[in-house]
Structure 1
Amino acid sequence: MSNSDPPGGPSSFEDAFRGEDVEQRVYGTVLQTRAPTTASTIANQSDCDPKTARKYLGWFSNLGIVTRHEGHPATYERNDAYFEWRRINELAAEHSVEDLQQRVQDLTTRLSEYEDTYNAATPASVDAIAAAEKSEDRTIDDIYSDLGDWATARDERKRYERARQQRATSETEQVSG
């Protein structure tokens, strides 16, 4: 902790993984990795030996957390599909079919409102500058905020619908099994 950090407070961003074990530091580094990265670079960022990083990266690769790209040297990157799958499973486990269905309906209503407001099917098809110029009370920042929320709501609806399907299938199998 730096001298400016309050006692008992969180570590500074630069030292976010201090105090965690090596596995947690490697995992935390992988979570922040968005492009194929060598084990040596991950080891350096995780403050561990490259051999140790390779051990954990191999394990994470077997679990599907990271994708290993062959080459010399091999590189690793976060497997976003794993985290998407994990989030859907969490939603299905934490919510009833009815709750998931209600959330899908709420998101669908919100998406319809954006489609009507911008007269477009997707946020990508909106010309934000033109929309801001046409609006009397909305700034370009407001438009970009809407477009970001709209894109997020579209992704969230897909996750909730997949979780609803998963939960409904699981409940049907339990009843018939």
Structure 2
Amino acid sequence: MSNSESPGGPPPFDDAFRGDDVEQRIYGTILQTREPTTASAIAKRAECDPKTARKYLGWFTDLGIVTRHEGHPATYERNNAYFEWRRINQLASEHSVEDLQQRVQELTARISGYEERYDASTPAAVDAVAVTDASDDQTIDEVYSDLGEWATAREERQRYERARQQRADTDGEQVSG
């Protein structure tokens, strides 16, 4: 064991799925893939036979986890919409309507603070260089950090609102059903 590894800790990032079965290695590889990739390239990274990779990629495609792009050869990529849907379902199942609504309100307040601070409706509308040139108390890194947190808060608010709507619909069906 190297000095950087701890007993019982997670495996090094390079070999994050080495101890897992082939299905988990392919799944882990597709999670880390950010662009359409051939089954052969995925198989190489997952250390398995390309035929085995195609089998599991077909299954993941059927489940909606992976998107298959036709071509010669076909390529595969992670379906971000699936993971977004899964996260929203998780939020809706783990939190009450009231908790979700409270989180939406908290995020809305945070977003409003950024809108006021930067006099803009979105992070993309902010010229970070101009802000730092006009300010003696903010560095470019601080502005970029704010813009990243603002964008994240906007995405998170949307997720929580969708989960709140889903939970409210589900709770409403249970009451009336």
TM-score in terms of structure 1 length: 0.97
Within 5 Å, give how 1:19-98 maps onto structure 2: 19-98=19-98
State the superposition RMSD in angstroms.
Answer: 1.0
- Identity across matched positions, percent: 75
Q: Residues of 2 paired with 1:4 and 1:158: CA distance? A: 39
Within 5 Å, give how 1:148-163 maps onto structure 2: 148-163=148-163
Q: Match for 2:99: what amino acid?
A: D
Matched with 2:12 is 12
Q: Residues of 2 paired with 1:162 and 1:131: CA distance? A: 33
Q: Confirm or deny that 1:146 pairs with 2:161.
A: no
Worse-matched range after superposition: 11-20 or 39-48: 11-20
TM-score in terms of structure 2 length: 0.97
- 3-state SS of 1:68 partner: strand
What are the superposed Cα offsets for residues 64-99 of structure 1, whole Å, 9 maximum, x if unpaired?
000000111110000000000000000000000000
Specify every segment of 5 or more residues in structure 2 that has no aligned partner in the other structure, as ranges.
none
Q: Residues of 2 paired with 1:140 and 1:82: CA distance? A: 35
Q: Is the 8 A contact 1:2 1:12 kept in 2?
A: no
- 3-state SS of 2:67 partner: strand
Q: Residues of 2 paired with 1:7 and 1:174: CA distance? A: 47
Q: Is the 8 A contact 1:40 1:53 kept in 2?
A: yes
Specify every segment of 5 or more residues in structure 1 that has no aligned partner in the other structure, as ranges.
none
4+ runs deviating over 3 angstroms = 1-4
CA displacement at 1:6 relative to structure 2: 3.0
